């Protein structure tokens, strides 16, 4: 298969971890007789340095002309980076919102998996960690508070900020369909998370999800209020399969779920539209404090590349090969600094990439 992939290396540790993912993808191509045409695209601080803005229209067109996008990380230290002294609409994170909207990436898939080799890193009780868990958070990505109307005004001499939470039935229905389809390929359970006891948007969310569920009688649906879900994630994460929720709730819950696994450096993500096109990136940030030190964990980015092969190209065997290779490396006791414990073998970012590549 011939694949066209736009590559956004980004900022901080982004170039380092993307390099390792590409190394693994190239090995997959060699073993399974595929070909990848990579096109580099600037975004975030790297784009600001060259173009004065975090994402150009030309960059968006390059991504649209590709089959998928592989991304590292975006942004720097807001307290010290000159990127945060320019107007907000041109800052690194503005590029993220722009690319999601421009590419219609409304569905964010974030797996939260506790690898058995990393049970010691899990902050939960040992008996819970030993069970292991494998859930996926399906977050609506282009609606809600983050994209609603906003303004700051002065009313009666008092400065007042207003953010608008808005969802249409169409936006809810399409993300719900994605969740049920993914659940069918997993354990056939969807937990829809809302705040329907308070918010009109959540009441519409629950009503629409119920309607979609009628087309998936083989998938179990349960509803859960977001505050209860936050509690249940740390009480018993094994109860979840696919968690379906809106933009802000998903942002918060996916970060909580990532820390339950013990290291955000192990967590991949995909942002997809209504076709097979997707943007694939690790769940963690740019970690500017360790950029250039060759100590970052590239496994989340490598796992994101595996998701890309699986979801955008239908190459399940190749994705399985990458995941098996990672498990072999962990079984053999190799760890980057973020998941290292005494008695194991500490390796660098590039060494971890080499080890995974060699086992495919």
Helix (H) or strand (E) holding 56: none
State the CB neighbour count (10 A cutoff) for residue 317: 11
Where residue 208 falls among pLDDT bands split at 50, 70, 90? very high
Active site residue 146: yes
Note the CATH number of domain 1-113+266-360.
3.40.718.10
Of the residues 194, 251, 280, 338, only one is catalytic, namely: 251
Q: Which residue would you say has higher pLDDT here, 127 or 78?
A: 78
Query: How does pLDDT run across 18-43, given as a tens digit for each residue?
Result: 999 999 999 999 999 999 999 999 99
Where residue 353 falls among pLDDT bands split at 50, 70, 90? very high
Rounded Cα distance between 22 and 36, Å, is 10
Of the residues 255, 328, 346, 354, only one is catalytic, namely: 255
Active site residue 354: no
Of the residues 23, 26, 146, 189, only one is catalytic, namely: 146
Bridge partners of 134? 113
CA angle 8–255–236, rounded 5-degree value = 140
Task: Give the model's pLDDT for residue 97.
Answer: 85
pLDDT at 258 over 90: no
Domain 123-260: homologous superfamily in CATH? Isopropylmalate Dehydrogenase (3.40.718.10)
Q: Is the pTM of this model over 0.85?
A: yes
Region(s) of the chain under CATH 3.40.718.10: 1-113+266-360, 123-260
Tokens of 299: 């496994």
Of the residues 227, 274, 320, 331, only one is catalytic, namely: 227
pLDDT at 262 over 80: no
Task: Give the model's pLDDT for residue 124.
Answer: 81
Of the residues 11, 98, 167, 195, only one is catalytic, namely: 195
Active site residue 251: yes
Rounded Cα distance between 241 and 227, Å, is 18
Where residue 131 falls among pLDDT bands split at 50, 70, 90? confident
Active site residue 167: no
């Amino acid at each position: 298969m011939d694949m066209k992939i736009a590559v956004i290396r980004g900022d901080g540790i982004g170039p380092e971890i993307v390099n390792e993912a590409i190394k693994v993808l190239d090995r997959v191509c060699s073993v399974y007789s595929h070909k990848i045409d990579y096109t580099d695209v600037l975004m975030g601080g790297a784009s600001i340095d060259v173009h004065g803005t975090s994402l150009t229209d030309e960059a968006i067109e390059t991504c649209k002309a590709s089959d998928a996008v592989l991304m590292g990380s975006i942004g720097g230290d807001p307290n010290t980076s000159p990127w945060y002294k320019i107007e907000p609409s041109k800052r690194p994170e503005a590029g993220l919102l722009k690319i999601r909207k421009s590419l219609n990436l409304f569905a964010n898939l974030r797996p939260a998996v506790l690898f058995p080799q990393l049970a010691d890193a899990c902050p939960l009780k040992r008996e819970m960690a030993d069970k292991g868990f494998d859930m996926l958070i399906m977050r609506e990505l282009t609606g809600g508070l983050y994209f609603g109307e906003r303004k700051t005004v002065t009313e009666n001499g008092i400065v007042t900020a207003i953010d608008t939470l808005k969802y249409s039935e169409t936006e809810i229905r399409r993300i719900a369909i994605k969740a049920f389809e993914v659940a069918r390929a997993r354990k056939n359970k969807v937990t829809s998370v809302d705040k329907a006891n308070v918010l009109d948007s959540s009441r519409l969310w629950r009503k629409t999800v119920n309607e979609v569920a009628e087309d998936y009688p083989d998938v179990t649906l349960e509803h859960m209020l977001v505050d209860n879900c936050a509690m249940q994630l740390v009480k018993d994460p094994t109860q979840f399969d696919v968690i379906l929720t809106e933009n802000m709730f998903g942002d918060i819950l996916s970060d909580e779920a990532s820390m339950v696994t013990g290291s955000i450096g192990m967590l991949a993500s995909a942002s997809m539209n209504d076709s097979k096109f997707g943007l694939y990136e690790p769940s963690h940030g740019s970690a500017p404090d360790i950029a250039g030190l060759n100590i970052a964990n590239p496994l989340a980015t490598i796992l994101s590349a595996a998701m890309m092969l699986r979801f955008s190209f239908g190459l399940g065997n190749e994705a399985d090969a990458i995941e098996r290779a990672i498990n072999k490396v962990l079984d053999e006791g190799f760890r980057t600094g973020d998941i290292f414990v005494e008695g194991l073998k500490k390796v660098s970012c590039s060494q971890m990439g080499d080890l995974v590549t060699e086992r495919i």
